[in-house]
Amino acid sequence: MTTFPSITGSRLIRALRKLGFEVIRIKGSHHFMLHQDGRCTVVPLHRGESIGRGLLAQILRDCDITKKELQKKL
């Protein structure tokens, strides 16, 4: 099993922007991100908290990217 570093919402948003995602709207602390090809996801941005393992896995599935692709952009 590989270890994946703890990641905050703002760091994840920066990495997704490098992969071509744009923040299309914000509702409270949730940032809705959309890619030009139609892929979309929601990233919570809570101060002082990191994204949980399960939620990160769901975001990666929504974005159709792998952990390795994300690690390269972090």
Is 4 a member of any domain? no
Is 67 a member of any domain? yes
CATH of residue 38's domain is 3.30.920.30
pLDDT of residue 1: 45
On the question of pLDDT at 2 being above 70, the answer is no
Is 52 a member of any domain? yes
Is 66 a member of any domain? yes
* pTM for the structure as a whole: 0.89
Which residue range is the domain that position 59 belongs to? 9-73
Is 2 a member of any domain? no
The answer for 13, left when phi > 0, alpha when psi is -120 to 50, beta otherwise, is alpha
Identify any residues that bridge with 23 across adjacent strands, giving them in sequence order.
Answer: 33
Is 1 a member of any domain? no
Q: Write out pLDDT tens, residues 4-17.
A: 778 999 999 999 99
Spatial separation of the C-alpha atoms in residues 27 and 7, rounded to whole Å: 21
Q: How many structural domains comprise the chain?
A: 1
Q: Write out pLDDT tens, residues 16-74.
A: 999 999 999 999 999 999 999 999 999 999 998 999 999 999 999 999 999 999 999 98
